[in-house]
Structure 1
Amino acid sequence: MMHALLIQFLYLLFFLQIKTTAAAPTQLRPGFYAQTCPAAEKIVRDVIIKAMKRELRSAASVMRLQFHDCFVNGCDASLLLDDTPDMLGEKLSLSNINSLRSYEVIDEAKEALEQACPGVISCADIIIMAARDAVVLSGGPNWEVKLGRLDSLTASQEDSDRIMPSPRANASYLVDLFSQFNLSVKDLVALSGSHSIGKGRCFSIVFRLYNQSGTERPDPAMDPKYREKLDQLCPLGGDGNVTGDLDATPYVFDNQYFKDLVSFKGFLNSDQTLFTSAARTRKYVRYFSRDQEAFFAAFVEGMIKMGDLQSGRPGEIRRNCRVANSRPLHALLET
C-alpha cells in the first residue's frame, strides 16, 4: 500500500514539474525583475567587472555567448548545459569546442543571483545581461535589455553543428543564414562588429594563409604586410590554438574592426568577405568604418532583435546553469 502511494506521489510530482516547465513564457520586457529581484542587473554587471579585472579578454568571450546561444533554438541557455549520458550538448559542437570560453563567468553571476534572489533569474537572461555589460565595459554602447526568458530543458550538439557558421563561411552564406532568423544584411554586418573585441585561433585562418580555396596559396584579399605578420604568428604546421587579435584594438569596442576590413586586414575569412565578396555587405562595412555612432546604433538594434529569438519550447529557471532541474520519471523513481 505504501509503495503504491509512493508511486502515485512520484507520478504527481513528475506531472506537476512538467506543468510548471511547460507554461507559456512571459512576454519579454525591460525591467522584468524590477519587483522580484531589483538588483539583478547590477549583480550581473559587478560579476563582469570582476571577470574583466582578472582577464580583459573575458569581455569578448562573454559577449559571444549570446550569438552562440540564440541562434540554436532561441535564447534559452541551451549552450550552457553540460553533456549527460543521454544528451550531447552544444559546448563540444564544431563552432564551440576550443573556441567559446568564460562559462565560469556565467556560473559566478548565477551563484550571486541565487544568493540574492533564489529561483528567480534565468540563465538565458544572464547571458543577455552579461553580453550587454561586456560591450559597455569595453567602451561600446549601452542599451536596455528585455528580460523574462526561460531556460531550456535540453541541448543539441547536432543542431549547433547544423546552424552555426564556420570561420571559413563567406558573406553570401552568412546573409542567407541571418535571413533565416529575420536578421537583415545590415544586422549581419553590425553584429559581425562583435569582433571589434577579442581574439581568434590560428586554426581558424591557416587555410587563408596557405591554401585559400584549395589553391595552395594565401588569400589574395589580404594586405601583404598583415599576411606576413600572421605568417609569423601562425606558421604552417604550428600550434592551431595560438590566438591573434581580431582587430587592431582587441580590448576596445569601436569601429576599428570595419576600418581593418576596408584595409584588407580582417583576421577571419568570414569577416573579410563582408567587404571583398558582396556589394550588399560591403556598403555597410564602409559605412560603419566611417561612422562609429551609426555602427553602435545598428549593433544595439541587432542585439535586441537577436535576443528576441525564442524556440517556444517548455522551459524553467535553472538552479545551476550547467544542469537542467527537471529529471525523467525513471530518475525520480530511483531516488
Structure 2
Amino acid sequence: MERGNQTDTLEFLLLGLSSHPKGQVVLFVVFLAMYLTTISGNVIIIAAIAYDSKLHNPMYACLGCFSSADISLASTVIPKLLNNLLADKKTISFIGCFTQMFFFLFAVTMENLLLGVMAFDRYAAICRPLHYSRIMTKKACSLMLAMSGFLAAMHALLHTAMASDLYYCTSNQVHHFFCDLAPLLKLSCSDTFANELVIFTEGPAMSLPFLLTVISYIQIVWSILKMRSVEGRHKAFSTCSSHFTMVTLFYGTLFFMYFRPSSSYFLDFDKVVSVVYTVLIPMLNPFIYSLRNKDVIKAMKKVLMRCPCAHKLHLKMQAT
C-alpha cells in the first residue's frame, strides 16, 4: 500500500541496549536470571496471599494484584529483549509492537492506580482505625481494584489505538529495547499533535494516584507523630515502609522518563532508567514487601514447605 512517496512499515527494528556480541551474551544471562527471579518471587507472593487466610484483606489483595501487574510488565518486555539479545534480526512485527505497547501501558498504569489504592488503604488503617472495617470493605476494595483494571485498560487502548493509526515512513529503527509510546511517536511522519495533546491533557488525570498517595502520607505521618506510644509509632511506620519504598522507586523513575520534553529522550541513560522500572523494580518488589512483613514471610514459608522438593529437604535437615 502506498500513500504518495510513503510506504507502510510492516515491522520495526529494536536497536536494544548493546551492539557488542559479548556484551549481549552477558546481558542475556543477567536479564534471564532477573526475569526468573521476578516471576518466582511474585508467584510466591500471590500464592502466599491466596493460601493464608490471615492475608485475605484489602491490603494484601492490592499487593496480590500488584504482583500480578509486575509479572505482566516483566513478561511483556523481557522475553522479547532476551530474544533480541541473541537474534541476528532484532525485529518486531507492526502488530506485535503495538500489542507489546498495550500490555506495557496497561501494566504500568495498573501499578500506578494500585499504589494510590494501597496508599488510601494505609491512610484508612492508620488515620481512621475505628472506621477502617467500614471504609475498606471487601465490596469497596473489589470495586476499586476493578475500576483500576478498567481505567488501565482504557488508558492503554486509547494511546495504542492512536499511535497505531499514525503513518510510519521515514525509518523503522526504534531507539529502545521495547515498543514504548515516545520513541514510536518520534518515528511517525504523521502529525502527532493529537497524540501529544492527549498525553498532556490525560497526564494530570493519571497523576491523581500520585497526589492521593502524597496526601495520604502527609496525613499518615501527622497521625504517627501524634501517637504517644513509641511501639505504636514503630508499628505504624513499619506497615508503611514497604509501600513507601515501592512508591519512591516507581514514581521516581516514571517521572524522570515521561515528565520532560520529548526532545531529551532516547539517550543511552534513558534506556538504563527504562531497565530500572521494567526489569529491576518488578524483581525487587517481592523482596521489598516481604523482608519487612512478618505475616508475608510466614505465609511464604508455608507455601514453600508445601513444595515436594522443599519438604524433602526439610526432612533431611531434621534427620541430620
Shorter-chain TM-score tier: under 0.3
Higher percent of residues as helix: 2
TM-score (norm 1): 0.26
